[in-house]
Each structure stands twice: as structure tokens, then as C-alpha cells.
Amino acid sequence: MSAPPLLRAIALARRYGPAGASVGASVGASVGASVDALVETSLAIEVGEIVAIVGANGSGKSTLLRALADVVHGPGASGAVELDGRRLSRAEAARVRAFVPQRPDVAAEFTAREVVELGRFARGADDDAVARSLAAVGLAARADRPMHVLSGGERQRVAVARALAQIDGASRPVLLLDEPFGGIDPAEVARIVMTLRSFASRGAVVLSLHDPGLARQVATRAIVLAGGCVVADGPTRETLTTTVLSAAYGHPMIESAGWLAPDLEAGGTLRS
């Protein structure tokens, strides 16, 4: 019998509004209306994959990541997530799965090292794991600086390091990242990408990205969302085509020298 996938989503769905008011609020939703932020979605992710979730603002990228991280609960949430074929308790899952939200909220008085040490809550203190994680994002030399003196990009890298430290020691870890490269310089993006590739050799990485060109460079697989639905899923270069992306973004996309970008000469938008 074949082994189960490392990460399996089973009929994940998230509805915001009156029926699921405690789950969250949907941007742009009219008062009294309910919004399907994520329509019933099932998928399987294997060891070795780096999966990019791509789509327009409001397409459900963050919602899908938060659902995979099992951090959204309430009457509007349904479905299940399995890790290595099991539905784990939150404490068990924290030892093998880590999530970096789009805007990490960290108290300014902590140093970078102290923030990363917080990631060891599920596995116990480990100075070596903390040091490895800080080095992986290029912050070893800034480890003892307070968070409030770090740039926005450096704080984002601290959040990635905290997640890496959290699952350091897991044999088949899962790393979930929501827009992890915001405000990060190109050289450090390259460093983190190398870290993610090394990480994926023994686990899996799922990240949301606004830039489909960057997704092509980083990921082995792409999932394209539109209106809370998966509209394409497959190998990155076969999936992130101008045809698929033009429909998903509601605006013509062009390809130049292998890079994808909006057609700035098209004017207006295809979206109604």
C-alpha cells in the first residue's frame, strides 16, 4: 500500500458573513451578505514539493493557507487536514507544521533571537536550532538586535526563522508561508529560496505569491485560485501560462524572456 501524502486537505471551505461571523470578515462583502472565501477544496502535497498559491487579491490565497495551517475555526469553517495520513491535535501538529502569516505580529521589545526562540514552544529549547534558523535567513549577525530597530524586511525574515526553528528536528516537516518575500531584498530572497529548496528535500513548502514570475522561479507546482476556487493546479511552468493568469487576474498578462507581467498597454481590466 502506498504511503499517504505528507499534507492532505479534505473538502476545506471557509464562509465569512452572518453564517460564519466569528470566523472573520471579508473585505468588500456587503453588510448582511455571506461570502465563500474558499469553496470546497481538496488537494494532496508530497515530500519534495514547493507549491506556490497564485491569484488576484481576494482570490482566497491567505484563506487557503490559514486553512491548511488549521488556524481558522468557527461556524463558517469546514473540512479537515491530515499530516502523514493522520488528523493530529494542534499540539502534535505544531511539532511538524509551521505557518508564517502575511503580517507577523511580534512585540517590539524582543530581540530577533528571542523571537526565534519562541518558535521552540512545541519541541523545547534548542540553541543550535535557533542559531541554524537565524543563519538560514541571513540574520546571525543581527540576532541580538531588538525587533523595533530592524527593517520591515528583516522582521519578515525573523518570522521565517521562527517557523524554521519550530519544526527543526521534524523528519517530514511542512512549512506554510503567506507572502514571505514582502520587503526583502533580492539577494536575501535568493538565500531564503535556497533554504526552502533544501527544506523541501525532506518535507514540503506551500507559499502564496503575488508575482507569478517569481512563483515560476521558486516553485515546482502552482495552484491558481479565483473566487475561492482552484482553477488550475499542476507543474509550475505548465500551469502559470498567460492564458490561465489573464483569466485569474482579470487582466491581460504577457510573457517576456520567460518572465510574466501584466500588460500595461492593455488599459483598464477584463474584470467586470
Average pLDDT over residues 230-245: 96
The three cell numbers of residue 22 are 466569528
Residue ranges with strand state E in 72-213: 77-83, 97-100, 174-178, 204-209
- For residue 76, CA distances in Å to 36, 89, 201, 249, 271 come to 9, 20, 35, 26, 27
Higher pLDDT among residues 66 and 32, named by residue: 66
The three cell numbers of residue 65 are 493557507
Q: What is the DSSP letter of 26?
A: -
- Which phi and psi angles does 174 have, rounded to 5°? -125, 130
Domain residue extents for the chain: 105-169
106, 254, 100, 114: which is closest to 180 by C-alpha? Answer: 100
The per-residue pLDDT for range 151-172, each reduced to its tens digit, is 989 999 999 999 999 999 999 9
Higher pLDDT among residues 179 and 258, named by residue: 179
Highest mean pLDDT among 25-29, 126-130, 146-150: 126-130
Categorize the per-residue pLDDT at 268 as very low, low, confident or very high, splitting at 50, 70 and 90: low
Residue 23: Cβ-neighbour burial (10 angstroms; 0-12, 13-18, 19+): buried
* pLDDT of the residue at 14: 94
Q: Which helix (H) or strand (E) holds 166?
A: helix 152-166
* pLDDT of the residue at 249: 93
Question: In the block, which residue shows the cell 526563522?
Answer: 161
Q: Is the pLDDT of residue 190 over 70?
A: yes
Rounded to the nearest 10°, the torsion over CA 11, 209, 98, 22 is -50
pTM for this one?
A: 0.90
The per-residue pLDDT for range 78-119, each reduced to its tens digit, is 999 999 999 999 999 999 999 999 887 777 789 999 999 999
Categorize the per-residue pLDDT at 23 as very low, low, confident or very high, splitting at 50, 70 and 90: very low
Q: If you average pLDDT over every residue of the chain, what do you get?
A: 90
* pLDDT of the residue at 32: 59
Average pLDDT over residues 126-155: 95
